[in-house]
Amino acid sequence: MDFELLETISYVSVISGFVCTIIILIDILNGHRQKMKVMNIVWPITGIYFGPVGLWAYLKMGRTDNEKPFWQKVFVSTSHCGAGCTFGDLIGEWGIFLIGFTLFASELLTVYIVDFSVAYITGIIFQYAAIAQMNKMKPLQIVKAAVKADTFSLVAFEIGMFGWMAITHLVLFTSPLKPDNITYWFMMQIAMVIGFLTSYPANWLLVKKGIKEGM
């Protein structure tokens, strides 16, 4: 493997993600506030890991009030789930690195446990925010609805993401990458995109059955 080339690609991809996020943020702040308030956070986060694809999706689906076709509603719902997972994973990854602890003498298992736990909490918070705006329900009812709507899609996201993380830890690199390495975050971008792809069918089913609102 050409590690110098990989590092260059990593810089390009990660910087591209942040540039797309900044473009989305500027556009939102300059008059394209989302009807669904939580999407003002979701779209910029989507730009971080999806880069130009995330920017394209925002321009096509986030700047219009027209009725979306079903696949777009599912895409936006999946991006909502993915943003909660991604935000939680970022907190978990940096937390593990900065505190420097391991569980059961396994770095990978530690990442899995912490990332899933924090991502699940943030995912439910994001889903709570969406449901609270759409429905007049008591807080406990909203929490229950958020858990019901987001658990399946979040687990599907993490399965895809964790699968790629296992490959990077156990196959691609002789020693695990750390969050202070740019290639680490390029690998995480790939992991999040894969998580989005594995979560999309789950969200399709949830929206189709009316368990989750299409956005």
Could you give the C-alpha distances from 95 to 50, 88, 106, 126, in angstroms and in order? 23, 10, 16, 20
Listed in sequence order, the residues at least 6 apart from 197 whose beta carbon sits closer than 8 Å to its beta carbon are: 160
pLDDT per position as a tens digit, 98-125: 887 777 777 888 888 888 888 888 888 8
Amino acid 202: pLDDT: 92
DSSP state of 166: H
Report the SS3 class of residue 106.
strand
Domain parsing of the chain, residue ranges:
3-208
Other Cβ atoms less than 10 A from the Cβ of 12: the count is: 13
Query: Digits of tens for pLDDT over the chain (215 positions)?
Result: 677 899 999 999 999 999 999 999 999 999 888 888 888 999 999 999 999 999 999 999 988 777 889 999 999 999 988 888 888 888 888 888 888 777 777 788 888 888 888 888 888 888 888 888 877 778 888 888 888 878 889 899 999 999 998 999 888 887 778 888 999 999 999 999 999 999 999 999 988 888 777 77
Residue 96 · residue 103 · CB < 8 Å: no
